[in-house]
Copies of this chain bind each other. A is one copy, B any other.
Amino acid sequence: MKINHHYSELQDSYLFANIAQKVKVYQEAHPDQHMYRMGIGDVSLPLAPSVIAALHQGVDDQAHQETFHGYLPEVGYQPLREAIQNEYAAQGIDLDVNDIFVSSGASDELGDILHLFDRDAVVMIMEPAYPAYVDANVMDGRKIIHYDGGVLPKPDPDLHPDLIYICSPNNPTGSVMTREVLKEWVDFANATDAVIIFDAAYKAFIEEDLPKSIFEIEGAKTCAIEICSFSKTAGFTGTRLGYTIVPHELVREDMVLHDMWVRNRTTRTNGVSYIIQRGAMAIFTEQGKKEWQANIAVYKQNAKYLMAALDEVGITYVGGKNAPYIWLDCPNGMTGWEFFDYLLNEVQIIGTPGEGFGACGEHNFRLSCFGDPEDTKEAGRRLVALLKK
């Protein structure tokens, strides 16, 4: 029997599992303490009323023979694909509806999409980065270039990756690629035959004039796959849905990646639940949009509480404006894990140590703005009280 031995090359345990374990130990020792959860990027507000109504409609459709849906197209429910296409068109991006693939969410797609590429392909991951980028490729046995390019990394002409991950707005730094820098990456990928995997999970947080999609950039259709999620847009972390754009213009080694992905999906999945896809259609209605945008405004207010606290104690940070994350420099030369323990033990704030996002994050720390507003406000106060000492 031949096992996939690359699993043994993975680091011992996954970042968020480690954090959960530390929190569990603390809570068992201090059962009465309230915890201020600014760690994992999980939303705290319920789904928008329009989405709830559409989900109920989807359930009712499954109750009656005339409206019942069995197998749907593996690539997605056509009306939802069209709603996504229209949303891009409204932003001036012309997409072929067949290039839009509905998915169970970005997390699933980021692993699954790798199947299109050879295991000898070389991957560039700009760090700090979402740790699953690394782990999914380690499991496949791919060589990884850990690229520490700073907050707004640019291509290095001496490095020749086959696959390039770009996450914008970035997890964990909260920074957003400008059109100019993104254009450099698109040109670099086209010139070197690389493929960009563009993770746009946090695009709903962009408020300045910055690109929400890589397909705003000329030339992207011949070099990029865009992976999107409703998790952070519409609070779908536990409801699960997303979509992926694989342009039919993207060709490498004479193979059309779009056609490969169709074949992958029709062979390896039976698609996403009708009920959830029906529910997600409400995300694109005028009323639905108002509702989820109101939730995003709450998370943005959370960011303001935390940024104000950090400003007050003189801690430097990036993010928090066009993104739901704040990436800060740990005070007093502490490492991320040291600062994690310090905050947990002193003020019961749970954040995420920078080390979890790559070696270059050793002295950084991520705060998430998805927590409960009252908790976040109080966390701001506690940060100030603790760090002013």
Contacts and interface: CB of A to CB of B under 8 A. Distances in A.
A338 to B, nearest CB: 25
Contact of A59 (B56, B240, B264): B56
Q: Which 8 A-B pairs have the closest CB atoms?
A: A111-B268, A2-B118, A69-B238, A42-B70, A107-B270, A70-B237, A2-B121, A1-B252
Nearest to A240: B273
A1 B161 CA distance: 8
Interface of A: 1-5, 7-8, 10, 14, 17, 40, 42-47, 49, 52, 55-56, 59-60, 62-65, 68-72, 104-105, 107-108, 110-112, 115-121, 132, 135-136, 139, 162, 193-195, 231, 235, 237-241, 252-253, 255, 257, 260, 263-264, 266-276, 279
Identical chains in the assembly = 2
Contacts of A70: 42-44, 235, 237-238
A71 B43 CA distance: 8
A253 B132 CA distance: 25
A195, A231, A239, most chain B CB atoms within 10 A: A239
B111 A4 contact: no
Contact of A46 (B68, B118, B139): B68
Nearest to A104: B104
Given A17-B266, A55-B275, A104-B269, 13 more contacts: A1-B252, A1-B253, A3-B253, A3-B255, A5-B118, A7-B264, A44-B68, A52-B60, A70-B237, A107-B269, A110-B268, A241-B273, A273-B273
Identify the interface centre among A2, A55, A63, A68: most chain B CB within 10 Å of its CB. Answer: A2
Nearest to A43: B70
A124 B280 CA distance: 41
A132 B264 CA distance: 10
